[in-house]
Amino acid sequence: MPDTVEQMPAIDLEAEKEQILRRYRGLLRSVRGERTSENTGLIRKAFNIAMEAHKDQRRKSGEPYIYHPIAVARICAEEIGLGVTSVVAALLHDTVEDTDLTLEDVRDVFGDTVATIIDGLTKISGVNWQTDSMQAENFRKVLLTLAQDVRVILIKLADRLHNMRTLESMSREKQLKIASETLFLYAPLAHRLGLYGIKSELEDLSLRAKEPEVYHDIEHRLKKGETVRRRFISRFILPIRQALEKEDFDFEIKGRPKSIYSIWQKMQTKHVTFDEVYDLFAVRIIVDSKPELEKADCWKVYSIVTDYYQPSPDRLRDWISMPKANGYESLHTTVMSPGGKWVEVQIRSRRMDEVAEMGLAAHYRYKGEEEHVHAMEGMLNKIREMLSDPGSNALDFVQDFKLNLFNDVIMVFTPKGEMRNLPVGATALDFAFDIHSQIGRRCIGAKVNHKLVPLSHPLRNGDQVEVITSRKQQPKAEWLNYVVTASARHKIKQALREQKGKLAIVGKEAVQHKLRAWGAKVNDENVNILADHLLATSATDLYWKIARERFNLETMAPPPVKNGRLVLPKGVRPKDERPLEEIVGEIRGTAGGTLTIGDDVQNMEYKLSPCCHPIPGDDVFGFITPEGIRIHRVNCPNAVQLMSNFAMRIVKARWKGKDSVEFLAGIQFSGIDAVGLVNRITNIISHESNVNMRSISFESKDGIFEGKVMAYVHDAEHLHSLVEKLRSVPEVRSVERIDH
């Protein structure tokens, strides 16, 4: 789906027509399996309709718009492995929204299934622009349609992947928004559906858009070490290859580098440099096995690998005996190579490899497409359960969905040995609600492996759990802090709403009694006047707060009553409780524009966010809060969520010249201890770089030192120059900026 569809003059129409036909023929070749003449006719018909519908449209890059649906259809066929129905829907996916073609036209020509899928894709694109969080509302629509037909989301992922591949033609702001949205929802969704190849590419492309320098640096380092890495892999696999041939295995061995994003993430989470990331690549062994021998063959291969290389006992992952919820099956182990390097080895059958690469869609290779659209029925049921909750807003919904479906899974057991799948981090209370909502509501504790534990106790893989209940127990608001599964949160919220409803009846009687005592009519108008005066958000909120004794009508002076109507002024909210729309309007004004940090922005205060400590020169954005504007770095840990969930509250920001101002920044460094090292480092910071230090600390243990300095710098360039000077000290092995 493009941002805008523009009309542009013809360029070289003949050359473009030839290019379009070449791409169309490439699409036909990419459709897997037997392609009957009837199927080819359907694809040609969809292509001709799309060509006609988009004939005057062009993308931001200036290319004919038809390139996009052809590319999306090809991704569906070639990279996800979908069949003809999905290819047809992908070719037509933007026609109903962007052209004169109607859904009924599509239904008449291609039938109900294609029309339903296109309707779902059109709904996803129909963003509610009025909501505070248009992205969250958009994601909710994504999930609503996913609950109808999983092909909708598979085509949407193909659409997003092609848009990410052609992101360069967008403005910087659009690139950041789309990349953040991709990292927040679409990459995890691809992962959950088992589309690991697409998930990795979406993450890599998002990193390239958000932090191009970091991306290209890692890419360059990977290319630089490619020859050495290839030589190492061929030496590593030689004895394994010979042993497998001796055992008459039909197999394939691949050595592949980890994705750039996963390497970068490891550098961030473990605070290490590129050179310190030890598992830059993985070796994959794929065996051609009969279905009944797959498991035994994989373990035989594992036995051969560990005959030659010592495995790490805590790095064995057996997803063959217990596959992941998305169908992923593989045996992972990490072994020590002769050169002293840890190497990850993945062992799987050919079928397992196809499922791992193409996820849910790989099953279409073994069964008809129509038969298998409900393969994720368990996942869809969980989504339907969440969608049935009328009380949740879009943001809560998206957070619950991410918690429920994107986490890795642990397996726990009931006292009778029944297995239950729960996300990592699930608690005893999550388990109770997973058994039954009534058991969850009455849960007072649990026994895990026969030991008594509290409701908030986190469960681990293989735990056996027995729930203890009491009829007197009632769900409490703090329970929401004890659970991680969306279904448990949904059931707790539902129970709390029911309790609130019961309390509201008590409060309603108290209000009616008081209105009669004041001589006022008992009607909706007077109730609303009283609610406005006491700053309640609704009549129900007023009743509930009175029942909970948040408002005391007994101490309130009797108000004047005129013709049975209360005469009360509206309550005045404190300034910091103003509706956010009012604050957004105040900051954005009518024209919007860019926030220049350092100028007086309509008397609104701005603060540099403490979560990432931006300094001049950093790529930044402004985030509107009730207290004013917070300035964040684009690569702030919270940026992805802010840009994805609150796009309406993001303002562009740029630095005004601030040469006379200094900003506090932190650096941490480590290396090998040596005589006079502290003196050299302080000399570089104070004298060579003209930096004022606020604090500096060193700690030395067993010949290794770690240091931390908080210093005042002018801008990002000043800080970068200081980091480079510290890196030039021979004993210093790593230097990095502190974000917190």
Residue in 98, 105, 466, 662 annotated catalytic: 98
Residue 48 pLDDT exceeds 50: yes
Q: Which two tokens stand for residue 476?
A: 């409490």
Residue in 97, 211, 217, 736 annotated catalytic: 97
Determine whether 279 is an active site residue: no
Residue 231 pLDDT exceeds 70: yes
pTM above 0.85, yes or no: no
CB 349 within 8 A of CB 294: yes
What pLDDT, on a 0 to 100 scale, did the predictor assign at position 347? 94
Average pLDDT over residues 414-442: 88
**Whole-number Å distance between alpha carbons of 680 and 676:** 6
**Whole-number Å distance between alpha carbons of 167 and 173:** 11
Residue 560 pLDDT exceeds 90: no
Which residues are registered as beta bridge partners of 705?
671, 700
Which residues are registered as beta bridge partners of 464?
413
Terminal CA-CA length for the chain: 38
**Whole-number Å distance between alpha carbons of 35 and 41:** 10
CB 188 within 8 A of CB 644: no
What pLDDT, on a 0 to 100 scale, did the predictor assign at position 536? 79
Q: Which of 240, 277, 238, 271 is nearest to 257 (CA)?
A: 277
Determine whether 275 is an active site residue: no
DSSP string, 246-308: HTT--EEEEEEEPPHHHHHHHHHHTT--GGG---SEEEEEEE---GGGHHHHHHHHHHHHHHH
Residue 304 pLDDT exceeds 90: yes
**Whole-number Å distance between alpha carbons of 582 and 504:** 30
Q: Which two tokens stand for residue 169?
A: 């033609």
What pLDDT, on a 0 to 100 scale, did the predictor assign at position 84? 87
CATH numbers and ranges of domains, the chain: 13-210 (1.10.3210.10), 219-365 (3.30.460.10), 407-482 (3.10.20.30), 494-572 (no CATH), 576-655 (no CATH), 663-738 (3.30.70.260)
Express as a percent the part of the chain with pLDDT over 70: 80
**Average predicted confidence (pLDDT) for the chain:** 79
Express as a percent the part of the chain with pLDDT over 90: 13
**Whole-number Å distance between alpha carbons of 596 and 433:** 50
- In the block, tokens 């090809």 appear at 74
What pLDDT, on a 0 to 100 scale, did the predictor assign at position 8? 45
Average pLDDT over residues 134-161: 71
Across 432-450, b (16+ Cβ under 10 Å) vs e yields bbbeebeebbbbebbebee
What pLDDT, on a 0 to 100 scale, did the predictor assign at position 341? 81
Give per-residue pLDDT as tens, 676-690. 888 888 888 877 767
What pLDDT, on a 0 to 100 scale, did the predictor assign at position 738? 79
Give per-residue pLDDT as tens, 595-643. 555 444 444 567 788 788 787 777 788 887 766 788 888 878 777 777 7
**Whole-number Å distance between alpha carbons of 364 and 347:** 23
For 606, residues 6+ apart whose C-beta sits below 8 A from its C-beta are 595, 597, 622, 628, 629, 630, 631
Coil, helix or strand at residue 740: coil
Residue 660 pLDDT exceeds 80: no
Average pLDDT over residues 313-336: 83
Average pLDDT over residues 432-441: 91
Higher pLDDT, 580 or 80: 80
Average pLDDT over residues 32-43: 79
CA 529 to chain centre: 44
Residue 363 pLDDT exceeds 50: yes
Residue 123 pLDDT exceeds 70: no
